[in-house]
Amino acid sequence: MRRFARGFTIVRVVLRHGLDEVVLSSFRHPWLHSFTRVITFGRRLDAPRGVRLRLALESLGPIFVKFGQVLSTRRDLMPPDIADELALLQDRVPPFDPAISVATIERAFRRPIDQVFVSFERTPVASASIAQVHFAVIRDRHGRERDVAVKVLRPGMLPVIDRDLELMGMTAGWVERLSADGKRLKPRQVVAEFDNYLHDELDLIREAANAAQLRRNMKDVGLVLIPEIFWDYCHPDVLVMERMNGVPISQIARLREAGVDIPKLARDGVTIFFTQVFRDGFFHADMHPGNIQVSLDPDTFGRYISLDFGIVGTLTESDKEYLAQNFVAFFRRDYKRVAQLHIESGWVPANTRVNELESAIRAVCEPYFDRPLKEISLGMVLLRLFQTSRRFQVEIQPQLVLLQKTLLNIEGLGRQLDPDLDLWSTAKPFLEKWMLDQLGPKRLWRELQLEAPRYAKVLPELPRLMHEYLSRRGQGEGRAELLALLAEQKRTNRLLQALIYGGVGFLLGLIVMQLIARLRVF
Ligand SMILES: Nc1ncnc2c1ncn2[C@@H]1O[C@H](COP(=O)(O)OP(=O)(O)OP(=O)(O)O)[C@@H](O)[C@H]1O
């Protein structure tokens, strides 16, 4: 019954905001259009479609707002006017009663709150649809008091999320079946991805693990601080981490006044991003200014502070390699190579014609080279490439979409800090060094080291494996082949030995003759 009522509310909101025009525009069933025209007779719609969609999602509640935020990053699927409007969605909800935070913590740790924390601030510092943050003090393993931030999950979210997701899934099914664009847009897949993403966000242990991994990765870079996780105080519903004290990155005037080198800050942001992406293949993918602060503490002055680790992106070795090569080929204007890389990496179907893709990519990229390099937005180039790929039946990989979104965030942030920031010259030495590492002896040595334990295990087993193989193959052809091979190998070895001994003997002979000749001279 509840599901029915919720479904009814959704239809009402869709009709009130005139979204039937958007939803039904590609539907092939004329009776649906006539029917909605009749039931919405006399309706006036003044705002553009993107604004109406944003307002509708806001009125449907936080889960739909989150859905809109996720959709805004899928610029490979959304028309630009809608994506821009969805990007304005704010996850603003009133805080929940602190008594609920306390109850959640007490349930998680099965102790009264004053036995969990030395002190706990009931008024939250921030509140969003999924969680709320409070400050507190704990006693760590060494008995020291530590200031912490406590993230508490909003209770009862799971059933609400599941109900809304079920309705979204149902609607996506209709769109896929009835809309002419259904096959390309893959709405059911989009909802399934959102489902995964939301359920991940409901597990704060996962977020804590992301933070711990990023902190370890970034330790030697010395440009960014990531809160320490207090694992003894973590639970799927509660995350306790070091409390950070920084100035929000958006307060540039305050940072400048405090003496922070702002252009360096912009360059450091790019370095951090490229290190996370290309060195580690593990990057913070929610880099909006609300999650970034700058430290003014004398020991860590001018360093970034990263917060909120709910969304991270991961890249495989081959993704990283192809991306780096793409960037380098792009800056050399080698569009053929860019096209070949897209095919080799499997980002476009193998039967794509290189020259067609090459000329489409040229049309995307060439206009950028009329501008100074510092004005080229790599995020924008990637976005255009994705849009071009749509014509080539490409299914954009989710990790690349996350990367492109983060790149846009970083560029936006960097240029806000320093309008003269030249992203390419900041990134180029990094990428070139990385490529050298990938292809050079360092990489070979690293791979040998990685493989060594496997060889160490396999080598002593080799005679046994050989024997097993021979007995399995019995006296048949296989055995004869193998024996022939072994005989051949023995012959080759003998030949090599003869050559080496012969060569060494010849050299020794030459040296002795030279010595005798010299002795004669003296
Ligand atoms: N370790 C911390 N130290 C100090 N303040 C923190 C810390 N973690 C979070 N905060 C504060 O809480 C706010 C919200 O935190 P966070 O972004 O992690 O929550 P969220 O629920 O994921 O919010 P949103 O989804 O809106 O980004 C931060 O902007 C910051 O002000």
Select from 373, 414, 428, 376 the least CA-distant residue to 266.
Answer: 414
Per-residue pLDDT of the chain (522 residues; tens, 9 = 90+): 666 777 777 777 777 777 666 666 666 666 666 766 666 666 666 778 888 888 888 888 878 888 888 787 776 667 788 888 888 887 667 788 999 999 999 999 999 999 999 999 999 999 887 899 999 999 988 889 999 999 999 888 888 888 888 888 888 887 777 766 666 667 788 788 788 878 888 899 999 999 999 999 999 999 999 999 999 999 999 999 999 999 999 899 999 999 999 999 999 998 899 899 888 999 998 888 888 999 999 999 999 999 999 889 898 888 888 887 887 788 788 989 988 888 887 777 788 888 988 998 888 888 776 666 567 777 777 777 766 766 776 666 667 777 877 888 888 888 888 888 877 777 777 777 777 776 666 666 666 666 666 556 655 666 666 666 566 655 554 555 555 555 655 555 565 566 556 655 655 665 566 555 555 433
Specify which residues 150 forms β-bridges with. Answer: 134, 240
- Say which of 20, 164, 237, 286 is annotated catalytic: 286
201 CA → ligand 1 middle, Å: 13
- So what's the pLDDT on residue 522? 38
126 CA → ligand 1 middle, Å: 6
**Which parts of 301-347 are beta strand (E)?**
304-306, 312-314
Three-class DSSP labels, 13-71: HHHHCCCHHHHHCCECCHHHHHHHHHHCCCCCCCCCHHHHHHHHHHHHCHHHHHHHHHH
Alpha carbons 153 and 148: distance in angstroms, whole number: 16
Find out whether the beta carbon of 244 lies less than 6 Å from any atom of ligand 1: yes
Q: Where are the alpha helices (DSSP H) in 346-476?
A: 354-365, 378-391, 398-417, 423-439, 441-473
Alpha carbons 480 and 107: distance in angstroms, whole number: 71
Query: 3-state DSSP call for residue 153?
Result: strand
Alpha carbons 320 and 280: distance in angstroms, whole number: 9
DSSP tag of 371:
S
104 CA → ligand 1 middle, Å: 18
**Model confidence, pTM:** 0.73
Atom of ligand 1 nearest to the CA of 310: 22
Q: Where are the alpha helices (DSSP H) in 125-276?
A: 157-178, 182-185, 187-201, 204-218, 252-257, 262-274
Do the annotations mark residue 160 as ligand-binding? no
> Using alpha carbons only, what angle is made at residue 446 by residues 441 and 452, rounded to the nearest 5 degrees?
120
Catalytic residue list contains 334 = no
Alpha carbons 371 and 369: distance in angstroms, whole number: 5
Find out whether the beta carbon of 305 lies less than 6 Å from any atom of ligand 1: no
Backbone angles phi, psi at 292, to 5 degrees: -125, 130
b (16+ CB within 10 A) / e for 322-341: bbbbbbbbbbeeebebbbbb
CATH number of 93-243: 3.30.200.20
